[in-house]
Amino acid sequence: MFRKVTSFLGYAKDTVKDGFNKVLGSHEVVRNALVAKNIVSSPTSFTFAYFMNKIINTLSPPDETDDGNNDFTSEELNLIQICAKLASDVYLEAGERTLPKEAGELIYEPTLTNSSAVPFAIMNSDELNMIFVSCRGSYCFRDFFTDFNANAVDAFDGLMHSGVLKAALSVYAICKDLIIQVSQQNGNRPVIFTGHSLGAAVAATVSEILKQDFPDFPARSIVFAPAACISRDLWQKSREHCLSFVMSGDFVPFLSFHNIAAYSSEYLPDFIKNYIDDLVRREVSRPTKEVEIDMTSNPFEKPPPTLEEVYLELNNESGYRTTALFPPGELYLLDLSGDIFKSVDLRKIRSCEYFGRFIPGLEEFNHSMDIYAECINKIYLTQVEKEKNEEQNLSQNKIGC
C-alpha cells in the first residue's frame, strides 16, 4: 500500500551502494530506489509548499459553492461530529483515546501485519443503534510520490485508485462477516464507515463494496478529507451512500496524477516529472462492467498516447479524461475565514470538478483531522443554538396569538 518514507530510506541504503545490481529486471523496484535515493540526498528539496509556490501565479480561484448551513439538523450534525471524533481518535494508541461514549463499545480492532489493509476499529452503539467502522490512514505529499499503486483500475463500472481499492478489499475481507453478524443480532443495525485522508477513501470504498454485495444492507459512509480515488462515473454513484467533508486549503483531495501532470513539464524536478509523465501517458480502456483486478501485473499495458495528446485531454473540458480521479461522496466544504480567531462556514460543493485542478491556498498543514473535528463541532454548536432560538421564537409567537 502507501509506503512510508522510512521504508524507502532503509531500502535505499543497499540499493544506492550496490548500483542497482539487486534490482535489474524489476521496473517498480528501480523506481522505488530512485525515489529513495532522492529522499536520502536532498530530503527537503521538494515539498507541496515548494510546488505551490512554483505554480501559484498560474492558479485560478476555486469554483463557486452554495450555502450548506441549512442542510443538516443538529441531530445529523451530532452524528457527523461523532464520526469526526472516531476518525481522529483512531490515530491514537488505545490508552490515549477518548472515544465518544455515544459510539458504544469497541468490539474489534485487528492487529495487522504484512497486510495491504489500513488499521481500523469497530464500535457497537446501543445508544445510537449504530455500528461504526473507523479507518485510519494519513496521506501526505511525499506518500503520493512514493505510491506505486496509484494507477486507476476498472471497478464498479468506473475507475478507481488501485491502492485504495486493494486496501478496501482487504479491510472488507477482514470485517465483513463480523459486521453482518452484529447487525443481524441487533435487528439489522445500520453501519457507518468513517475515516480521514487515505482512511476516508478506504472507508467510502468498503461501504460501497458492501452495498454492491448486499444492496439492502444499511451501510453508508461519513468521511473527512478523502484522497482522490474514483472517476466521474463512480463519483455520481458514490453520492447515494457517502458524505464527505473537505477543509478549505486541504491539498489531499486535490492530489491526483492528472492535476500534477498539468504542471509536470515546467515546474517539477526531473525525477518526479518523468515519473508522473510516465504514469499519465498510459492509456486506460473504458471501464468494464465487472471488477477486474490483477494485483501482480500492470493494468496499463496498451501503447501510450503522446504526451501532447494527454495535455489536450487534460485541457478539454468536454472530453473523457480516463484517469482523472476525484474524492468520493456528496461533497461539503468547511470554509475557514479570519486571520486569528477563525470562523467556519459550511458550503455545498456542486461537482467533483471542484477538485479537477489546483487552486490557491492549498497547504499540507490544513489536513489535520483534529482541525476537522473542531470545525464540525463548531458547526454543530451553531446549529444547536439556531434551533434553540427558532424554538423560542415559535413559542413566543404562539403566546402572542
- Examine the fold and report which residue of 11, 40, 58 is the final residue of a domain before the chain moves on: 58
pLDDT of 279: 53
- What share of the chain has pLDDT > 90, as a percent? 48
pLDDT band at 365 (very low <50, low <70, confident <90, very high): confident
Say yes or no: 89 and 176 in one domain: yes
Q: Average pLDDT, stretch 65-84?
A: 97
Q: Does 6 map to a domain? A: no
Digit-coded pLDDT (tens) for 337-355: 887 667 999 999 999 999 9
pLDDT at 302: 47
- Domains in the chain: how many in total? 2
CATH of the domain at 116: 3.40.50.1820
Residue ranges making up the domain that contains 54: 21-58
Same domain for 122 and 142: yes
Residues 28 and 102 in one domain: no
Take residue 262 and report the three cell numbers written for it. Answer: 498539468
Q: Are residues 35 and 107 in the same domain?
A: no
Counting Cβ atoms within 10 Å, is residue 61 exposed (0-12), middle (13-18) or buried (19+)? exposed
Q: Is the pLDDT of residue 371 over 80?
A: yes
- Of the ranges 14-28, 131-145, 364-378, the best mean pLDDT one: 364-378
Whether 311 has a pLDDT exceeding 60, the answer reads no
Task: Answer yes or no: do 27 and 86 share one domain.
Answer: no
Sorting pLDDT into bands at 50, 70 and 90, what band is 307? low
| Alpha carbon distance 148, 52 (integer Å) | 23
The larger pLDDT score, comparing residue 131 to residue 285, is at 131
Say what the pLDDT of residue 286 is. Answer: 37
pLDDT at 8 (0 to 100) = 33
Q: Is 194 helix (H, G, I), strand (E, B) or coil?
A: strand
Q: How many CB atoms lie within 10 A of CB 370?
A: 11
Q: Taking the mean position of all CA atoms in its chain, how far away is CA 101?
A: 26
Question: What per-residue confidence (pLDDT) applies to 162?
Answer: 82
Same domain, 161 and 260: yes
Does 14 reside within a domain?
Answer: no
**Residue 192 shares a structural domain with residue 48:** no
Same domain, 87 and 130: yes
**Domain contains 352:** yes
Burial class for 245, CB neighbours closer than 10 Å (0-12, 13-18, 19+): buried
Do 180 and 224 reside in the same domain of the chain?
Answer: yes
Q: What is the pLDDT of residue 104?
A: 96
Q: Which of 15-24, 104-113, 130-139, 190-199 is most confident? A: 190-199
Q: Which residues pair with 191 in a beta bridge?
A: 131, 219
For residue range 140-180, list pLDDT tens digits in order: 665 555 454 556 778 888 888 888 898 899 999 999 999 99
Residue 58 identity (one-letter amino acid): T
**Does residue 290 fall inside a structural domain?**
no
Q: Please check whether residues 131 and 221 belong to one and the same domain.
A: yes
Do 47 and 151 belong to one domain? no
The answer to whether residue 365 is domain-embedded is: yes
Q: How confident is the model at residue 275 (pLDDT cuts 50, 70, 90)?
A: low
For residue 258, tell me if it sits in a domain: yes
pLDDT at 316: 47
pLDDT score, position 143: 58
Asked if the structure places residue 399 within a domain, the reply is no
